[in-house]
Amino acid sequence: MQKNLVRFRAFTLVELLVVISIIGVLVGLLLPAVQSAREAARRMSCGNNFKQVGLALHNYHSAFKNLPKQMGGTVFCGTFGYVTGATPQQAGSTNGNELSAFPGLLPFMEQQALWEQISNVYEVQVGSPGTYFAAMGPHPNMNLDEQAAHLYEPWMVEIQTLRCPSDPGVGLPAMGRTNFSFCVGDAIQQTNIGPGDPEGRFKTIAAQRARESCRGVFVNRMFTSFADIRDGLSNTIAMGEIITDLGDGDMRSQIGASAVELRTNPNACATMIDPSRPSFWLPGTPEAGTIPTNRRGHKWACGRVGYTGFQTILPPNRQSCTWNSSFGNVTDLLDEGVLSAASRHQGGAHVLLADGAVRFVTDSIEAGNSSHASVRQNGTAMDPTLPTVPGAKSPYGLWGALGSRGSSESIAADF
């Protein structure tokens, strides 16, 4: 009896390699699309978090008829720093009028429990140094050594609503990161401390400079309200996105120290940028904050502009740096400077308008002349090509106009 034999032909090695190659090509083609979709989702989540902060701002304003103060809190009254007390009645030091606006927003961001910890006398947990901190906490610019000696946990909490999923920064040396910051305007003079001091007093010269130069929705150590925004809520930036520092020399988050006064040339620090890596400083560039915790976005509770503020001077994703007359002895981020908006997204950064809308502003937004002098007390009629006297329109184009609250500048262009 004859049997029909059927031969089954297997794949040859060449055919198998061809199939694998085709699969590899398809994966290579799909991977960028997958990564792009993931970043789009992260960017959307970032914008949604920002909208929650904007809603909190509006609810706060509805409750108190003003915006929360940037650099506010309990004033210096004899005990300053990070000192604890032995009893609740003799609790420790004040925060020196340096809290950011974020603590006041906590009850409006579903952070009531954290607000209760901060707004009441805080008992240090058993086994930690110290005993009691005063209500509203100690100075928010504590570094890690000071936290180790006087542990105040609320300042270390990382609030997810204040984070952008595209930013990989997490944990130490930061003490509670934030990717959102408050707009202090389009000028430099006095925007670092505003019109007041740690004791809560308005100083004559400082107050005059602040009236003339502090043109943003937020003015350090002074309450503002929506009524102050004469240019219109939909035409004025209230907050902007920033990146948190990763310790990699990024010019957007590791704040440089300028040897040149920045009021007359905000772009002076551009000479310190590495031309071969244009997002990073040259090796050896001096820092404004030599302590690892003193970096961009590293302390959500501190109102110093380096941590939680920005200006609409340089376009998004440009350098941040400060200047001090005693150059070389700058460590605390309390000096005047140019602090820029930035993000880990491609091509721009989110901003929150005063009406609560979140917009994505590109790096190429019209921003005038970045090297032009800024508006200030001793500005002139032509300095050198545009006026910098108090009340003048912003030298920094559409970007600068969006950051000033009441300079009567019409916003005709889309952004």
Strand-strand pairing, 309-310 and 180-183: parallel
Tokens of 385: 């090509």
Residue 320 lies in a domain: yes
Structure confidence at residue 21 (pLDDT): 82
The boundaries of the domain holding residue 265 are 159-415
Residue 278 lies in a domain: yes
Residue 8 lies in a domain: no
Say how far apart CA 406 and CA 415 lie, in whole Å: 19
pTM of the model: 0.86
Total domains, the chain: 1
Structure confidence at residue 48 (pLDDT): 93
Say how far apart CA 86 and CA 339 lie, in whole Å: 40
272-330 tens-digit pLDDT: 999 999 999 999 888 887 677 788 999 999 999 999 999 999 999 999 998 865 544 45
Say how far apart CA 166 and CA 242 lie, in whole Å: 11
Residue 54 lies in a domain: no
Q: Do residues 80 and 198 lie in contact, with contact meaning Cβ atoms separated by under 8 Å?
A: yes
346-394 tens-digit pLDDT: 999 999 999 999 999 999 999 999 998 888 877 777 767 777 788 788 8
For the residues 54-61, what does the mean pLDDT come to?
A: 96
Residue type, 170: V
Say how far apart CA 266 and CA 55 lie, in whole Å: 33
Say how far apart CA 127 and CA 363 lie, in whole Å: 49
170-227 tens-digit pLDDT: 888 888 999 999 999 999 888 888 887 776 677 777 777 878 888 999 999 989 999 9
Residue 152 lies in a domain: no
Residue 53 lies in a domain: no
Residue 201 lies in a domain: yes
Residue 284 lies in a domain: yes
